[in-house]
Amino acid sequence: MLSAIFVVLLLAIGVYCILATYNLIRVLIGIEILIKAVTLLIIAAGRQSGNMALAQAMVVSIIVIEVVIMTIAVGVVLGIHHHSNSLDSRNIRKLKG
């Protein structure tokens, strides 16, 4: 029950981080928090169902995919920063090419 409260809290914090800011780094941090909430939810569901091995395998797969996606996303954000000298997501519309 306690893990469900943490999952809901992490989901709320992640969604707030994404929606409340225009800074691209903060948006990436919000996405990371959402992914951690999903990871915690999978572990809690695996423990509840008694199938921890499957839950752990899924979490390891999610972590690997998360690292690849975040690496690419940080590269895109750095490219946007290099081009526009800003991390404001509203400046993305000004880019041409």
What whole-number distance in Å separates Cα of residue 30 and Cα of residue 25?
9
What whole-number distance in Å separates Cα of residue 1 and Cα of residue 59?
20
CATH value of 2-91 in 3.40.50.1010, 1.10.287.3510, 3.30.300.90, 3.40.50.300: 1.10.287.3510
State the pLDDT confidence band at 1, using cuts at 50, 70 and 90. confident
Tokens 């800011």 sit on residue: 21
What pLDDT score was predicted for residue 87?
92
Question: Interior CA angle at 90 toward 92 and 96, to 5°?
Answer: 25
Query: Average pLDDT of 85-93?
Result: 88
What whole-number distance in Å separates Cα of residue 36 and Cα of residue 80?
26
State the pLDDT confidence band at 97, using cuts at 50, 70 and 90. low
What pLDDT score was predicted for residue 60?
97
For residue 61, which of 37, 32, 45, 39 has the smallest C-alpha distance? 39
Tokens 């990436």 sit on residue: 28
What whole-number distance in Å separates Cα of residue 94 and Cα of residue 50?
52
State the pLDDT confidence band at 91, using cuts at 50, 70 and 90. confident
Q: What is the pLDDT of residues 18-58, one digit of tens each?
A: 999 999 999 999 999 999 999 999 999 999 999 999 999 99
Position with higher pLDDT, 58 vs 89: 58
